[in-house]
Amino acid sequence: MAHPAAPEIRTETMVLNMGPQHPSTHGVLRLVLELDGETIIRCVPHIGYLHTGFENTFEDKTFHQVIPITDRMDYLAPLSNNLAYCLAVEKLLGLEVPERAQYLRVILVELQRIASHLVWLGTHGLDLGAVTPFWHTFRERDMILDLFEGISGVRMMTSHIRIGGLALDILPGWADQLREFLRIFPKRVDDYEGLLTRNRIWVQRTQGIGVLSAADAIALGVSGPVLRASGVAHDLRKAEPYCGYERFDFEVPVGQNGDVYDRYRVRLAEMRQSHRIITQALEGLPEGDFKIRDWRYTLPTRQEIKTSMEALIFHFKFVSEGFSAPVGEVYRPIEGPKGEIGFYIVSDGGRKPWRCRVRPPSFVNLQALPKIAEGRLIADLVAMIGSIDIVLGEVDR
């Protein structure tokens, strides 16, 4: 008896839900994946699980009260968020910040960049099974958090950068603590590189994975290290300097292939550049005020309050009702650890922003995930998510 022709093998795609509680989705990211075997055909991110309406809350706060809320968006880089917000308000008010405050701001946000990249490196390694770097990176991050505690009293949600300058000047001994960190840090970056850069497993799991071309990156609005890893040398610290970044000598690391490995290389190189910037800023740190002396826009110092009646009145007015800003609108982006973060503030002349919109780098960068994931293996997906470096607090706001 002749066999009938072998029936055509029919396969169906499978829909798999990944997250929002999956440990490698870095928070509450949920991905709906359509799989053909192990290949991802479609990847649809679902976000919003952490949405708390920050932009709505901003509209109900005075300009000064907004600052602590900005900490909680990208909670791995609160100082960068503070700086982006304060620069926007200062631009709106037309304020000029003293030089010492600018130098200290640069030191703080560069430390923040290193801290953010350290968390990224540790968790990204963890996702791919490299457990050791995690312990190393968190050890150094702890030193940075100690520094933040030493300057502001708080380890994470510092709110230390304020409109017109800083909350407090550095205390005696803080610079030495920072010097100690600067002394050991380059060696520690060498250690991370020793663990990963030529590690065969690491290279095989990251090279050629999650490739994003320069043209796609620009079209999707991707910024920060992800954009630079694709070969676009765009860094707002160079292109549109703020806080006097033009004074410092540093390079913008750029990748070639735009894959997960290049993003790793770019971020590691950025940590070394941040180290260079901090060293220069600490050496050149000028004497002077750590904030403006216009008490309409900033809290008078303790000394002033105790000795001047006017300062006491300004203090009362500042705390009880805040200040009003001129009618207008500004957008002042900065180069945060994740990319271009900027606040678009619309003022109607009142004491609260009429509209305060944040341009969230994680949100925009995450949009590139379906682009780089579709057609690839599901096993590589965690590497791709990790390499974009998102913080869901900022994606969802």
Partner 1 sequence: MEQEEALSVAEEFVATRKVRERFPEWVLESTVFRGEHTLVGRREGIGPVLAFLRDDPELRFDFLADLTAVDHLPRQPRFLVVYHLKSLPHNHRLRVKVPVPEEDPEIETATGVWPGAEWLEREVYDLFGIRFRNHPDLRRILMPDEWEGHPLRKDFPMGKVAVNFDKTRGK
Q: Which of residues 226-245 bind partner 1 (CB under 8 A)?
A: 232, 234, 239-240
Please state the length of the chain.
Answer: 397
Which CB, 133 or 253, lies closer to partner 1?
253
Q: Is there binding between residue 97 and partner 1 (CB under 8 A)?
A: no
CB of 10 to partner 1, least distance (A): 29
| Longest Cα separation, the chain | 109
Question: Where does residue 21 rank: exposed (0-12), middle (13-18), buried (19+ CB within 10 A)?
Answer: exposed
Q: By CB under 8 A, what part of segment 287-326 binds partner 1?
A: none
Mask: binding to partner 1, 377-396, rule CB under 8 A, as x and -? -------------------x
Q: Assess 94 for contact with partner 1 (CB under 8 A).
A: yes
SS3 content of the chain, % helix, strand, coil (to 5): 50, 10, 40
Q: How far is the CB of 14 from partner 1 (least distance, A)?
A: 20
Selection from 88, 136, 147, 86 nearest residue 112 by Cα: 147
The Cα–Cα gap between 249 and 187 comes to 21
CB of 305 to partner 1, least distance (A): 32
Instruction: Decide: is 224 part of the binding site for partner 1 (CB under 8 A).
Output: no
Count of residues interacting with partner 1 (CB under 8 A)? 38
Q: Per-residue DSSP letters for 67-129?
A: HHHHHTTSTT-HHHHHHHHHHHHHHHHT----HHHHHHHHHHHHHHHHHHHHHHHHHHHHHTT
Work out which of 225, 342, 386, 393 binds partner 1, going by CB under 8 A.
342
Shortest distance (Å) from residue 45 CB to partner 1: 9
329 lies in the site for partner 1, by CB under 8 A: yes
Residue 105: phi and psi, rounded to 5, are -60, -45
Nearer to partner 1, 48 or 288 (CB): 48
Instruction: Give the C-alpha separation, 169 to 104, whole Å.
Output: 9
Q: Which of 95, 220, 312, 377 binds partner 1 (CB under 8 A)?
A: 220
Q: Is there binding between residue 47 and partner 1 (CB under 8 A)?
A: yes
Nearer to partner 1, 156 or 220 (CB): 220
Q: How far is the CB of 218 from partner 1 (least distance, A)?
A: 5
* 51 sits near partner 1 (criterion: CB under 8 A): yes
Give the angle 361-363-367 at the CA atoms, nearest 5°.
110
CB 368 within 8 A of CB 226: yes
User: In terms of CB distance, is 170 or 330 closer to partner 1?
Assistant: 330
- 48 is a site residue for partner 1 (CB under 8 A): yes
Out of 14, 16, 38, 53, the residue judged to bind partner 1 by CB under 8 A: 53
